[in-house]
Amino acid sequence: MAERKVTATVRVVNEKGLHLKPAQAVVNLTSRCSSTVLLGRDGQMVDAKSTLGLLALGAAPGIELTVQAEGEDAEAAVEALSRLFAAGFEEPSGEGERTE
């Protein structure tokens, strides 16, 4: 089967950016992929299976990141990452801002 290469752009939409918990979610997702998955910005690409690499990106809210995947499940990996970023890593927004 031919290797596929897929590229997409995702935006960090959660309130706190790409901190430890979202980085671990990315690693958990990409670790299940056989493809090589890279994430980056401004020409700096890191292994999306590396928590430290992801944290080094310093991706604050609103930052756009490039996702590149190459391998048999590249398309599925990019789609899954796109959904994870779009959902804001399913983090609650506005913690502590409840009014009653």
82-93 average pLDDT score: 87
Does residue 90 carry a pLDDT above 90? no
What's the chain's average pLDDT? 90
Q: Is the pLDDT of residue 98 over 90?
A: no
Domain enclosing residue 48, as ranges = 4-90
Give Cβ neighbours of residue 97 (< 8 Å, ≥ 6 apart). none
55-67, pLDDT tens digit by residue? Answer: 999 999 999 999 9
| Token pair for 71 | 């391998």
> From the CA atom positions of the chain, what is the Rg in Å?
14
**19 catalytic residue (yes or no):** yes
Q: Choosing from 4, 19, 50, 76, which is the catalytic residue?
A: 19
Q: What is the CATH number of the domain that holds 56?
A: 3.30.1340.10
Which H or E element spans position 48? none
Decide if 98 is inside a domain: no
Q: What is the pLDDT of residue 96?
A: 41
